[in-house]
Structure 1
């Protein structure tokens, strides 16, 4: 059986194998949701972010209405990732948070891995507004009772 986070495993067909994880964990590996949601995810300008966040929220609502709670969680993760990536670009010109290349044995992983954090530049107000738009939608989906109840039960049962 493939690993729970295998990019080839169809978790719509096997929702019991899905692990909620922390934050955005798995957002770019869980299929078929990655292929459905990634094209909707953009944050370059507030107008683009507004359109993207609305599309991701609509996907969240559609998944929820059809009982596909794994899909709803993935849409939530893309909203969260829209916020975190836009904030990173708002704080760090070019989006680079750490100095130097990622060590070869740490490629594909997140975090500093011993690298120094680059100083923050002056805030990019355009990206900060994009982040605010995603944060508002993310906060709203986190308040949907059906979704939060499912997520808590799924984490308890499946991890």
Structure 2
């Protein structure tokens, strides 16, 4: 029997991951280097999503700081899943705001064809992206994150 939570986590289809508390069941969490699962991994989505925004610079900068602070709280608690999901929210802030910085309305594709990016179509979104990237780089450069990721993989048999 395959484990749908440890496999690819769809961002569209509802699934059992909505009914699972990953803090209580970290063995069911599968690390991925992308943002997959950020909106489905409970209880972290409830703890991080309300703070996440890329709307305007001031609230986005506060959101990035708050999410980074949460990352540190998860690190202090030895909670790799929380650390990893917080990292995903910082990464998502960076990638989403960069898309809006380069493409009008954030629309990378028109009629199924990729648009040419504009050089800083939206300068405020570029500033937001840089704020998120600042915090994301600190998480990615944190030796504690790398050690926790290695322990999680070793403990739960990930590749």
TM-score bracket for this pair, using the shorter chain length: 0.7 to 0.9
C-alpha RMSD over aligned residues: 1.6
2:92 corresponds in structure 1 to: 81
2:128 is aligned with 1:117: no
Structure 1: runs of 5+ lacking an equivalent: 101-114
The count of residues paired between Structure 1 and Structure 2 equals: 145
Q: Work out which of the residue numbers 20, 31, 56 in structure 2 matches 1:20.
A: 31
Q: TM-score, normalised on structure 2?
A: 0.84
> Does structure 2 retain, via aligned residues, the 8 Å contact 1:16–1:158?
no
Instruction: State how far apart, in whole Å, the 2-side matches of 1:154 and 1:68 are.
Output: 10
1:8 corresponds in structure 2 to: 19
2:151 corresponds in structure 1 to: 153
> Does structure 1 retain, via aligned residues, the 8 Å contact 2:44–2:85?
yes
Q: Secondary structure at the match of 1:85?
A: helix
State the 1:13 CA deviation.
0.8
State the 1:144 CA deviation.
1.3
Instruction: State how far apart, in whole Å, the 1-side matches of 2:78 and 2:150 are.
Output: 16
2:60 is aligned with 1:49: yes
* Greater relative contact order structure (CA < 8 Å, 6+ sep): 1
Q: TM-score, normalised on structure 1?
A: 0.84
State the 1:22 CA deviation.
2.5
